[in-house]
A and B are shown apart, each in its own frame.
Chain A
Amino acid sequence: MIEIENVYKIYRMGDAEVHALDGLSLTINEGEWVAIVGPSGSGKSTLMNMIGCLDQPTSGSYKLDGVEVAKMNDRDLARVRNRKIGFVFQTFNLLSRTSALANVELPLVYAGARDRRKRAVAALARVGLGDRLHHRPNELSGGQQQRVAIARALITEPAIILADEPTGNLDSKSGAEIMELFHEMHKVQGLTIVMVTHDPDIAAQCERVIHIRDGKVLSDERNGERRHVFTIAEEVAEAAETAGVTQGAGI
């Protein structure tokens, strides 16, 4: 449950003040799949960073599962990022020179968890990379790298997945495969997904689309045609199969 109320984020650039978030209010319920769309400079990335506890609002209230984040210290924020939130970035943001397995293990290292290796292997298998455990990011395709990133985001079993243009750097086929993974996450695991995108096709696959402009919510719509969403996903899956690409074992 994400509750954002009258939040401001103000940057100073020289003499000018930039209101990246300008009195924005928003509530996202558990299990929702939300797309945040808007032109560049609209504040959607700032909103995303704030939801992800990477940044704190200048003023206003942000409650994550009823806990006020705006007043948390660095250590608590790190803990929330580690346990409650999984990030998927446009540029994957994997550690280079580090194997897929080690990348996926990393959140567990900071969580101090046991059975790290076993869990990381399982997570990679779930995104269909069971045979790429020891490959480094530069030995993987873009789609595969994003799968590693998704495995990393899922490994601590967070309630919320934040995805910032997850398909932005991928060709359409890999992008469709990644979207398939998101559908699985949402449908099977019931994860809350917040996805920043400017691709209308991607937004159309989400349950709810929030338009942001100038740091404010411009519109907040629900996609009634959920059936259509699944049709696209199925089409993509079929297309992939006919192209001879073996899909991952699924989630």
Chain B
Amino acid sequence: MTFIESIRIALRSLSANKLRAALTMLGIIIGVAAVIALMGIGRGAQKAIDSQINSMGTNLIFVSPGSTNQGGVRTSQGSAQTLTYDDAVALATEGLSAVAAVAPEVRNFGQAVYMGNNVNTQIVGVTPEYETVRNYAVQSGEFINAANVTARSTVAVVGANIVTNLFSGEDPVGQTIRINNVGFKIVGVLVAKGGSGFGNQDDQILVPLTTVSARLQRGNFRGSNLVNQISVQAADASQMDVAIQQISEVLRERHKIRFEDDFTVRSQQDLLATANQVTGVLTLFLGGVAGISLLVGGIGIMNIMLVSVTERTREIGIRKAIGATRGNILAQFLTEATVLSVFGGLIGVGVGAGIAKIISSAPLGGTMVLNSVVGADSVLLATLFATAVGLFFGIYPAYRAASLHPIDALRYE
């Protein structure tokens, strides 16, 4: 008996009970569709985060302050435990071969008020280098310039969302807003970048870094130009490691460190790797949960096949009487189970891809869109898994059928 013959027999007996076959397949369809859709969504999330990280700029290295407590030892007065503006200036002016640009920033939350509207948002103190290093662009007006930094000017560049929220969409350039009761003149508006996992980049107000310490942090400011982070752009991608090395050396020298660094240097790749690790685990987890429903679908197949074997005992007897071997009967029922699971799997792939597509087209808050990715690998994996499930759960019922004694089977009523 040929393989095609087995499939034909399986299709014929399945079509004799179409509703039952459809319901059995439904279990597999749902399982496979869930695997495909959830893995697609996971991949989509990964891609979205990747593109956000990449939109921050190219060849970036992030320097942030480390722990200020070294093994419980109290550090002496006056030794710098955190990053300062002076560190950033040093990195920029020491002529490091692998460093192209340096952009320090200081972040605070503050309230911005304009004509009775107000928003609570991030006030970021930056230098002119921030624009190129962090890949920002100005859509109207201009960015903060060196003169603004030197003069500690009260000027501001606002993100796209601020324009919407505070100015109802009108061009704000030339207007004055009040931040912490200090008047700031708007000089430029940033081009929208889209939201990210690390705070919305369109929802911030940029001011000269020096102005933050001079005007906004009066009172709780202790005089040493603290910054939250220094973004450093390496000369090119191959120089990243060299740049990290040079930055670390300069900062250790400046901070007089002998053992443990009080700062952390991470590259964009590190961020990407971390994010990918997180989303990878998430994708796997979603796939695993969906896999459980596939397993349940498999049990459904086994259940129906067992019922089917009992129901068709007489048929099995007849087939044996006219020359079917145990192998023929085993193959027949295994093929039926496999046909169910393979067809279910293929339909499930279609349904899953459809669900992924629908989710892709639905925006998830703001400008962020989850472009779910249905890869060939997840399709292959789900189909193979579905087939394996069908085979595995088909073996026992098929074995029961094949082991029936022909006479008992023929006498069965």
Contacts and interface: CB of A to CB of B under 8 A. Distances in A.
B407 A78 contact: no
B315 A87 contact: no
A75 B326 contact: yes
Interface residues of B, number: 24
Contact of B323 (A78, A89, A93, A98): A78
Contacts of B16: 97
Contacts of A78: 320, 323-326, 328
Contact of A74 (B5, B322, B325): B325
Interface string A185-219: 00000000000000000000000000000000000
Contact of A81 (B323, B326, B327): B323
A3 interface: no
Contact of B327 (A75, A111, A152): A75
Contacts of A74: 325-326
Contacts of A54: 320-321, 406-407, 410
B322 A81 contact: yes
Nearest to B312: A95
A156 B1 CA distance: 15
B407 A112 contact: no
Nearest to A93: B318
A30 to B, nearest CB: 21
B319 interface: yes
A109 interface: yes
Interface in B259-306: none
A109 B1 contact: yes
A93 B324 contact: no
A82 interface: yes
Contacts of A82: 322-323
B314 interface: yes
A189 B9 CA distance: 32
Contacts of B256: none
Nearest to B16: A97
A79 interface: yes
Interface in A85-112: 87, 89, 93-95, 97-98, 102, 106-107, 109-112
Nearest to A49: B407
Contact of B322 (A75, A97, A106): A106
- Of all A-B residue pairs in the complex, the 6 with the closest CB atoms, nearest first, are A82-B323, A78-B325, A110-B323, A107-B322, A54-B406, A97-B16
27 contacts: A54-B321, A54-B407, A55-B405, A55-B406, A74-B326, A75-B327, A78-B320, A78-B324, A78-B325, A78-B328, A79-B325, A82-B322, A83-B323, A87-B322, A89-B410, A93-B317, A93-B321, A95-B318, A106-B319, A106-B322, A107-B322, A109-B5, A110-B319, A110-B323, A110-B325, A112-B2, A152-B322
Interface of A: 49, 52, 54-55, 74-75, 78-79, 81-83, 87, 89, 93-95, 97-98, 102, 106-107, 109-112, 152, 156
Interface of B: 1-2, 5, 9, 12, 16, 314-315, 317-328, 405-407, 410
Given A54-B407, A81-B320, A93-B317, 8 more contacts: A49-B407, A87-B322, A95-B319, A107-B322, A107-B323, A109-B5, A110-B322, A112-B1
